[in-house]
Amino acid sequence: MDLIKFFTREEIIAGLEISANHLRLTVLSQEKEDKKSSAAFAAEEPLQEGALVNGHIVNKEEFIQSIKRLIGKSKTRIRYVILSIPDDKVFSKIFKFPKNIKDEKLKGTMELSIGFQLPIRPADAYLDWEKVEKETGDENEVLLAAVPKLIVNDYVAAVESAGLKIIAVEFHLLSIARALPPTDETVLVLKDNKEGMTTGVIKNNLLLFIHTISYETTPKDKLPTELKKVINFCEAEYGTLSKVLVLNEEAMGLIDNLGNLKVEVANIVKTSPDTKEPVTIPGSWLVSLGAATRGLMPRNQDNLVSLMPVGTEEAYEYHKAITFSKLVTEITISVSFVFLAVFLGAWFLMLYIQQSLNNQYSLSANLPVPIEAAGLEARATHLNALLSQTTEIIKTAPQWSEIISEITNMVGTDIVVGEIDTKSPDAPITLQGTAKSRDALNNLTKSFQASLKFTDVNVPLTDLEKKKDIPFSMSFRLKDPQSLYLK
């Protein structure tokens, strides 16, 4: 029996939205028969001016007290939350790869793409990616998201100081995409706050694009012009937009004519758990609603993007284990005085049992070795042989990570790598990409020629009329192919 699961039942996981001027908390209930969800609890708490600025917590104490006031409005104890944070500092992008790139090869390709295309150092960011499930098409799509560690660490410390445990961290538009009704239409979502307007393209509950327009650089009277630029880009990249969704009526006043696009408030309808009647949920609640919807998912099936050091299942099980250990500690303290009275008697009994066991052990030492012991020894010998074979297999597999790291160090910011083709350690390696200038390509060629690891470097001269954005294909060999194998 799993004692942790016995003592720590499945807990309510709420959706907690953090915005510049408010906090929102939503709890959903789900029918066991038809799996339909309904809002069981929703509350809002205003944030004091200046408590949160540009996505950073400035007044930590006021921020923590606001969270405590918010969860105090619920009659049911809430311990766990899916945290949805502002999009201001979040980097998000959809990567597309051929269908035959999957599993470990897809993981390696994503790790290489992250190193070249992430706008911040991977060591300074929490990042995660999820594969987008598609029934049709000849490409794999992967959603990558990253956010600076300092921002998430501040949020996690403050929220946990308020008494909540965080299961996953995502961002507003990711929550909104989950909360919207599924549709094949491509829509543009506008999320306005006092610091700027965040735009996102959503289709089939998938976030395809995200961009924030700051009011520091774009005055509100110039907002329609900037939105038209965003719309033109999105329609060129993702196809015709069916409509524009805003989260509240106030945002409608900031938007003038956007061509033929229909603009409407993203209100949705849910069933009331009490009256079973349809209830309209304002679009301004979509963030916390989408986070709460994720909270209904079984933890072992939640493989969605989470901007934390650990996955959602590990975080949930960790917090449950902590709860269980606290329960055991409290029980132990409460009955410790009872056991103290019994301890001395038990101690003398153990001394007696120990003496008896010592006597039995002395007698058993003179008994012949049982037949079963020989069988166990043979099994151990067989196991050692299998382990030795496994070690030899590992030694025959090339380790490409050191070569990939060498190439990454040699490629500068003026080179964009498109593809690295490695067939075997003895075969030529092909590196394809684009150089920003002819000098950048020449410098890259010299770096490979001077490398202690590569030889036979060859860069055919193509597109000689181009001065910028020069495509190239470089081939080279390893000086010592055997260096890829474990010794």
Amino acid at 224: P
pLDDT at residue 136, as a whole number: 64
Contact (Cβ atoms closer than 8 angstroms) between residue 429 and residue 475: yes
Residues in CB range of 425: below 8 A, 6 or more apart: 398, 478, 481, 482, 484, 485
Nearest alpha carbon to residue 169 among 9, 333, 308, 375? 308
- The Cα–Cα gap between 362 and 368 comes to 13
Nearest Cα to 185, choosing from 205, 156, 199? 205
User: Who contacts 295 (Cβ-Cβ below 8 Å, separation ≥6)?
Assistant: 12, 13, 14, 15, 28, 80, 81, 82, 167
Contact 98, 115 (CB under 8 A): no
Domain 182-265, CATH number (from 3.30.420.280, 1.10.150.120, 3.40.50.970, 3.30.420.40): 3.30.420.40
Q: In a 10 Å sphere around its CB, with 0-12 CB exposed, 13-18 middle and 19+ buried, how is residue 255 labelled?
A: middle
Start and end residues for every CATH 3.30.420.380 domain found in the chain = 1-180+272-336
Q: Where in the chain is the domain with CATH 3.30.420.40?
A: 182-265
Beta partners for 477?
455
Superfamily of segment(s) 401-484: General secretion pathway protein M, EpsM (3.30.1360.100)
Q: Report how far residue 481's alpha carbon sits from residue 472's, in angstroms, rounded to the nearest whole number.
A: 24
Sheet holding 22-30, edge to edge: 37-46, 22-30, 13-18, 80-85, 165-171
pLDDT the model gives residue 274: 64
Cα separation, 224 vs 257, in Å, equals: 8
pLDDT of residue 432: 87
Model pLDDT, residue 188: 93
Closest by CA position to 101, among listed 135, 144, 131, 145: 131
Average pLDDT, the chain: 82
CA distance 280 to 250: 18
DSSP-derived secondary structure letter, 173: H
Pick the CATH number of 1-180+272-336 from 3.40.50.2000, 3.40.50.720, 1.20.1260.60, 3.30.420.380: 3.30.420.380
**CATH 3.30.1360.100 residue ranges in the chain?**
401-484
Half-sphere exposure of 91 (CA within 13 A, CB side): 18
Residues of the chain with pLDDT under 50: 1-8, 312-313
Residue 129, number of CB atoms within 10 A of its CB = 19
